[in-house]
Structure 1
């Protein structure tokens, strides 16, 4: 079978595309309405001997005890193999309120071999401004595990040094949002495109009864990525306005002609608008096989001589059937796929063919290698 690793991608790309409308909420987001990243440093305790004895873990452990009024002799080195220093991070969703909970991810920062069975102690989660926005604490859920033998052999399944705490952080304060400010909102496209921005603005104006040609426009495209929309000042009315607006259907513009190649997996995806200029491609293979046969040569029984071993070399050259196919102007993706399938090119060969077409200026489309 040919193209088993990427035949599905080709077939899906080669299928005829039927224009379909999409909702505004699926292709754009509201400027300023986003999540914020939080991070903190804490300790996980209760580990079954899989913790660490690093200097910063010991220092953190001493600091924690001192906060509870317990002082350790500076010359005493505590044995804390059931404790691990961890980094804790989470995303603070937009509009979340104090008292609500969010999930957190806990990752070991030292030499702890596993966080399985551990409990995160109270950890402050801070934003980029240094303020505390949430407090995390709770038992970890770790999907991985590891085992080690006395001879040093070890097996690890998944990642036992990373865990999650569902609803593990309590939100303490919200992040200010400009959602209710001003007379307008800005919709940002996920994939900037001038044609899509124009169609988005036209759809909003048409559905809401605006007349841009008479100077009355509700939506105005700013650039390839943004559309400014007039919105009510009252927060309640603004929410209702967006609830209606984000469900409007419209047809985004076609994506740019593009060929995407994953050189690590051999996956190749070709967009529907890729075209080829007149070009001819040849594809073939040359196989050279060298075999060495040992032969024994013995002299006649009545003649003088010694038995010798001789080597006979056999060189076989196999020239595979070379095939050439020609592309006419404006060749479509479907014709390209059929041609390379008939030639029987392997993924690596097809990558070389596409690269050569681009270098020759015969590929009308962007070649992206990831």
Structure 2
């Protein structure tokens, strides 16, 4: 399958998926509890034991001298040590919520100097600090590096992946616990991953209904605060609050329909079109491609002896060709699904569809937000 056909197939797949009705989803998949979050840690250290792939930068030499001084070893200031097996590195990690002292976390080690590779190196004891400047973990251990590099005598070189970045599984020992906001106050706040007023109201109604609360009678357990947050009354007892959270996070409800939006990735040619996007009457000139979309109203009348009602049905007709005419024409109510399928039938490139969508937005004929990433 060609790249063009693959990209257009992705578009049509997204349209088919959007065609289904919203399905109930768990609260834990759509929202998080305020105060329950991870924290970023960072530190600076030295990797030793490199097979000549280290560096001789000034800050590496200074760090090396400081390390030796901490062990009571003083070097002559006039002597420059040869430390091609040492590299200065930045170490970072993510501290998950509720993790306790004595547990371990993974760390990532990245060269900050001129070291060509960290393969085979060992990270020496490195303190990892949080945003408040406190030490929350200490990292140390042997690196696992997936990349490698090779260089010839004539200066030619080859690098696979990234040899200057490595990881240490369970390489940091947690020394300090981060206080959690889960047990504070009489309420919990659920924050939606995608803010939406309708979804916040649906989330609040689902919790009240499942727990027997009735806002109409003045008794409400869950109350929407804004488009992103819902405040929920919770027990103060630690054990009861944990059980309460475990219960409500598995409640299911139907979130609101997503906004009418078209997302275009101009680098890859990927186009995703929401189900609610609609087109207004417009005409566009684009190359030699002609797409004509029209709708005919037909009356469906039941047999005189049969029971039923007379209804008006709509029949959409799409005509596609690559003649010299250059006009896109479509009537009210046509969906982007029909337009994309029409363009796909003649094998047009994703770039053509991007240009058409951008022109539709500028003309005010695209009912939806156009996002280019």
Same fold by TM-score, threshold 0.5 exceeded? yes
- Contact kept, 8 Å, 1:42 with 1:87, in 2: the verdict is yes
Partner residue in 2 for 1:4: 5
Counterpart selection for 1:154 from 154, 157, 168: 157
Counterpart selection for 1:177 from 180, 186, 190: 180
Cα displacement (A) at 1:343: 4.6
Tell me how far apart the structure 2 counterparts of residues 223 and 156 of structure 1 sit (CA, whole Å). 50
Counterpart selection for 1:218 from 218, 221, 224: 221
Partner residue in 2 for 1:298: none
Partner residue in 2 for 1:331: 334
- Contact kept, 8 Å, 1:325 with 1:339, in 2: the verdict is no
Unaligned runs of 5+ in 1: 287-318
- Contact kept, 8 Å, 1:283 with 1:322, in 2: the verdict is no
- When structure 1 is superposed on structure 2, of 268-277 and 321-330 the one drifting more is 321-330
- Contact kept, 8 Å, 2:259 with 2:368, in 1: the verdict is yes
- Contact kept, 8 Å, 1:97 with 1:171, in 2: the verdict is yes
Tell me how far apart the structure 2 counterparts of residues 282 and 339 of structure 1 sit (CA, whole Å). 15
Q: Say if 2:245 is the partner of 1:242.
A: yes
1:92-149: CA deviation from partner (whole Å, max 9, x where unpaired): 0000000000000000000000000000000000001110000000000000000001
Cα displacement (A) at 1:331: 1.3
Tell me how far apart the structure 2 counterparts of residues 278 and 11 of structure 1 sit (CA, whole Å). 23
Query: Residues 86 and 367 of structure 1: is their aligned pair in 2 closer, same or farther, counting only changes over 3 Å?
Result: same
Counterpart selection for 2:120 from 117, 121, 132: 117
Partner residue in 2 for 1:311: none
- Contact kept, 8 Å, 1:257 with 1:274, in 2: the verdict is yes
Tell me how far apart the structure 1 counterparts of residues 279 and 342 of structure 2 sit (CA, whole Å). 13
Cα displacement (A) at 1:32: 0.6
Cα displacement (A) at 1:324: 3.5
Partner residue in 2 for 1:290: none
Q: Say if 2:61 is the partner of 1:58.
A: yes
TM-score between both structures, scaled by the size of structure 1 = 0.89
1:276-311: CA deviation from partner (whole Å, max 9, x where unpaired): 00122343349xxxxxxxxxxxxxxxxxxxxxxxxx
Tell me how far apart the structure 1 counterparts of residues 60 and 3 of structure 2 sit (CA, whole Å). 55
Alpha carbon RMSD of aligned pairs, Å?
1.5
Partner residue in 2 for 1:265: 268
Partner residue in 2 for 1:106: 109
Partner residue in 2 for 1:360: 363
Alignment of 1:82-97 (within 5 A): 82-97=85-100
Partner residue in 2 for 1:166: 169
TM-score between both structures, scaled by the size of structure 2 = 0.88
Query: Residues 222 and 146 of structure 1: is their aligned pair in 2 closer, same or farther, counting only changes over 3 Å?
Result: same
Partner residue in 2 for 1:187: 190
Pair member with larger Rg:
1
Unaligned runs of 5+ in 2: 290-321
1:312-364: CA deviation from partner (whole Å, max 9, x where unpaired): xxxxxxx9643534222121232122222245432222111111111111000
1:33-91: CA deviation from partner (whole Å, max 9, x where unpaired): 00000000000000000000000000000000010000000011110000000000000
